[in-house]
Chains A and B, each alone.
Chain A
């Protein structure tokens, strides 16, 4: 179950070309999905516009459950983009994976810790940025001393823990799903009998992975809004 990665060094940065490919694919899929479904907008929504409006309302409800819409409205676009992007990224690795010359090319981009941690760090960074921007530096710094001053080290650790858990939770779920799919496809399905035996658990696990992928996208968005609201909301 081990595959090499197509690594290329460019401008002193290490690129995993498989990740680059899959990030691009996920981005393009999300973009096309969103743009095509909002191409013909009507006052009476039909078809895909309904779906997109449902997604918007879904994210709006997530934001409303964590903070005031007055504060949270600005994160609406971020939330929709995150939930769509992570869901699509989670789904990409499910139907198949492509291995060329021992190098894994087609997989979920979210099955890589570097990518999920990038997203998580971006979210936590944004939460700090908006904390300073909306409440001022003083109020932002005071939050670290609440409820007691000696909580400061714990509060600082919490920020790093948040980042790590947010990224690694997503990575772990998706990576584990792909590993098991790979094991089922690669190790069990040897010969005709093995293929037949692998069909049922494959189906079950793919179905479960769709569920997990959707849940993880929701959880990531939810926690994004929770972390943002901790920094942004004036009282909680």
Chain B
């Protein structure tokens, strides 16, 4: 019993169970055909599409990287442009302020000059006016004096005054005239 079991064990361990049945040629052919069929089917239905999508993804990633690189360059270009524009604007503003300041200075000078000349002119005309008024006044006084003289003369004649009185009268009138003036 024990010997039989041992014999069975060894026989089944020697090159599998094929040892006493010959070579399974059918299995060999079947395995070969099945493997090749499996490989072709998988290539068509599984690995092919999978490889396709992986290639597609690789391309997608590559193109995305390119796009990112391009947009980064674009952004850099725009940034430089903006920076230049800003600098230009700043310079322009600076020059505008400078111009305005100069303009202001010039205008101030002008205003001052005109004001001064205006003042001068006004002063001149005032002087002229004064002079004219003075002339007028002198003329008027002269007329007045003449008139008074005539008046005094007539009064003297009327009263028939002494020489002393006459002198006094004239002096009085002259004084009067001086006070009037």
Chain A residues in contact with chain B, CB under 8 A?
1-5, 7-10, 13-16, 19-20, 23-24, 27, 30-31, 34-35, 37-38, 41-43, 49, 52-53, 56, 76-78, 80-81, 85, 104, 109, 111-115, 118-119, 122, 171, 175, 179
Residues of A within 8 A of B9 (CB): 1-2
Write out the residue numbers on chain A whose beta carbons fall within 8 Å of the beta carbon of B43: 77, 81
Which residues in A have their C-beta under 8 angstroms from that of B37?
Answer: 27
Other-chain residue from B26, B30, B31 in contact with A119 (beta carbon distance below 8 A): B31
User: What are the 9 closest A-B residue pairs judged by CB atoms, nearest first?
Assistant: A15-B26, A13-B26, A34-B46, A2-B12, A19-B27, A81-B39, A41-B53, A118-B31, A13-B25
Q: How many angstroms from the CA of A6 to the CA of B26 in the assembled complex?
A: 13
Distance between B57 CB and nearest chain A CB, rounded to angstroms = 6
Is A7's CB under 8 angstroms from B16's CB? no
* A112–B27 touching, CB < 8 Å: yes
Q: Chain B residues near A27: list those with CB within 8 A.
A: 34-35, 37-38
> Which residues of chain A have C-beta atoms less than 8 A from B42's C-beta?
30-31, 34-35, 77, 80-81
**B136 an interface residue at 8 Å Cβ cutoff?**
no
B160 at the A interface (CB under 8 A): no
Contact A31 B11 (CB under 8 A): no
* A122 near B35: Cβ-Cβ < 8 Å: yes
Contact A81 B38 (CB under 8 A): yes
Indicate which residue in A19, A43, A76, A80 contacts B57 across the interface (CB closer than 8 Å): A43
**By the criterion CB–CB under 8 Å, are B38 and A31 in contact?**
yes
Whether the Cβ atoms of A53 and B12 lie closer than 8 Å is no
Listed by A's residue number, 9 A-B pairs whose Cβ atoms lie within 8 Å are: A2-B17, A9-B26, A14-B25, A16-B24, A19-B31, A41-B50, A80-B42, A112-B16, A119-B31
Asked if B28 and A56 make an inter-chain contact with CB atoms under 8 angstroms apart, the answer reads no
Q: Does B62 contact A (CB under 8 A)?
A: no
B49 at the interface (CB under 8 A from A): yes
The distance from the CB of A109 to the nearest CB of chain B, in whole angstroms, is: 7
Q: Does B78 contact A (CB under 8 A)?
A: no
Across-interface contacts of A76 in B (CB, < 8 A): 47, 51
Given A5-B17, A27-B34, A43-B56: A114 touches B27 (CB 8 Å cut-off): yes
- Interface members, chain B 26-76 (any A CB < 8 Å): 26-32, 34-35, 37-39, 41-43, 45-47, 49-54, 56-57, 60
Minimum CB–CB distance for A182 against chain B, Å? 10
Tell me the bound Cα distance from A15 to B53 in angstroms.
Answer: 41
CB contacts (< 8 Å) of B21 on chain A: these are 5, 7, 14
The distance from the CB of A212 to the nearest CB of chain B, in whole angstroms, is: 18
Q: Which residues of A have CB within 8 Å of B17?
A: 2-5, 104
Q: A2-B9, A81-B42 are in contact. List 8 more A-B contacts (CB 8 A).
A: A2-B17, A14-B23, A30-B42, A34-B46, A35-B46, A41-B53, A113-B18, A119-B35
Q: How far is the CA of A86 from the CA of B8 in the complex (A)?
A: 29
Q: Is the interface of B mostly helix, strand, loop or mixed?
A: helix
Instruction: Tell me if B27 and A113 are in contact (CB < 8 A).
Output: no
Q: How many Å lie between the Cα of A173 and that of B43 in the bound state?
A: 29
Complex Cα distance, B56 from A171, in Å, reads 39
B60 (CB) vs chain A CBs: closest residue: A43
Q: Is the pair B30, A20 in contact by a Cβ cutoff of 8 Å?
A: yes
Q: Contacts A53-B54, A113-B16, A113-B18 hold; do A14 and B24 have CB atoms under 8 A apart? A: yes
Task: Say yes or no: A56-B18 contact (C-beta < 8 A), given A2-B8, A20-B27.
Answer: no
Nearest Cβ distance between residue A84 and chain B, in whole angstroms? Answer: 8
Contact A52 B46 (CB under 8 A): yes
Q: Is B180 an interface residue (CB 8 A)?
A: no
Q: Is B163 located at the chain interface by the 8 A CB criterion?
A: no
Whether A53 lies near B16 (C-beta < 8 A) is: no
Q: How far is the CA of A105 from the CA of B8 in the complex (A)?
A: 19
Closest Cβ–Cβ distance, residue B67 to chain A (whole Å): 15
Q: CB of B178 within 8 A of chain A?
A: no
User: In the complex the two chains form, what is the Cα distance from A23 to B29 in whole Å?
Assistant: 11
